[in-house]
Amino acid sequence: DAGTGSEGNPFRTIQKGVSLLAPGVTVLVRGDASTPYLEQVSISPGAELGDLANPMTVAAYPGDSPGINGEFIRASGLMIGQGSRYVNNLIWRHIDIRNTLGPNMRADYTRYLTVEDCLLKEPGAPACMMIGQTFAYLISRRNIFEVATAPTAVAHGIYLWETTSGGHSVYDNTFRGGRYRDAISTGREAYALEGWGKDSECYGNKIYDPQDDGLQVEGGGARVAVWKNLVVRPVAAGMGIAPVKT
């Protein structure tokens, strides 16, 4: 990590690279699946980070396919926005995360997070992607969520916790492996109004062999649109819709 961060003299870890994130900055990550990074990356600034006009990007170097392997000893592969300090307008692109004790990826205190073209694989509970406290505006597109080896189906694909405020767009993702619960879950059913929030959309997803529901819409809230999703062989419902919070 004593390098300059240039292409010819790169940092050793992803963590060092993301420590330099600022509005408009792009961090490019080299590597391939055969030599993953053995680390937990945290984007948890000491003060609010980013603005809504200039995205911050962490992406694979063109032509490379880097990944993070938690080796089943790290709590997560990527933690965003811990400690009540917001991270704004972050893009995470084509960097895979697998084999974690908890969620492959967890985001709290985040506004406008885009995750695209990633493989999130073999997490612990509660999900491949956990969207937690005080969160707004998730875009998840063209990702693969895979849970195939868990002894019991305890993890979801995407878990939208009840305190998210909405504006989510989840589309063209694939959920597979047969050992996950819901492909997309909204947490506790009684709090589902806050899970999807308002002004959200979910479409074009392909969901195979969920051990519970394919899509757990659970009330949804205001102006939540769900259409053109494929759900194959669910153990419970293809789409579960429960009453909103009273």
Is there a contact between 94 and 61 (Cβ–Cβ < 8 Å)? no
Strand pairing partners for 174?
144, 206
Average pLDDT of span 74-101: 94
Phi, psi of 27 (to 5 degrees): -105, 120
Band the pLDDT of 162: cuts 50, 70, 90: low
Please determine, for residue 245, whether its predicted confidence score (pLDDT) is greater than 60: no
Count Cα atoms within 13 angstroms, Cβ side, for 196.
29
Q: Span 177-191, mean pLDDT? A: 76
Per-residue confidence (pLDDT) for residue 8, from 0 to 100: 94
Residues of the chain with pLDDT > 70, as a percent, come to: 90
Q: How confident is the model at residue 71 (pLDDT cuts 50, 70, 90)?
A: very high
- Among residues 146, 136, 145, 200, which one has the least CA distance to residue 172? 145
pLDDT at 243 > cutoff 80: no
CA-to-CA distance for 82 and 64, rounded, in angstroms? 29
Direct distance between the N- and C-terminal alpha carbons of the chain, in angstroms, rounded to an integer:
52
Instruction: Compute the average pLDDT of residues 63-78.
Output: 95
Is the pLDDT at 15 greater than 90, yes or no?
Answer: yes
In 3D space, the residue among 49, 123, 58, 120 whose CA is nearest the CA of residue 91 turns out to be 58
pLDDT at residue 221 is higher than 80: no
Structure tokens at 36: 């993953």
Question: For residue 246, what pLDDT is reported?
Answer: 38
Q: What is the average pLDDT score of the chain?
A: 89
Q: Is the confidence at residue 188, as pLDDT, over 70?
A: no
pLDDT of 128 > 70? The answer is yes
Is it the case that residue 77 has pLDDT exceeding 90? yes
123-146: average pLDDT: 92
Q: For residues 74 and 89, give the distance between their C-alpha atoms in angstroms, rounded to a whole number.
A: 26
The model's pTM is 0.94
**Alpha helices, H only, the chain:** 14-18, 192-196
Q: Tokens 């980070």 identify what position?
A: 49
Question: Given this model, what pLDDT does residue 171 score?
Answer: 97
With CA atoms as reference, report the closest residue to 69 among 105, 103, 40, 30: 40
Q: List all residues 6 or more positions away from 205 whose beta carbon is below 8 Å from its beta carbon.
A: 170, 171, 172, 173, 174, 175, 183, 184, 215, 229, 230
Rounded mean pLDDT of 100-127?
95
* More confident site: 96 or 34: 96
Alpha carbon distance 163, 224 (integer Å):
16
Q: Rounded CA gap, 19 and 87, in Å? A: 12
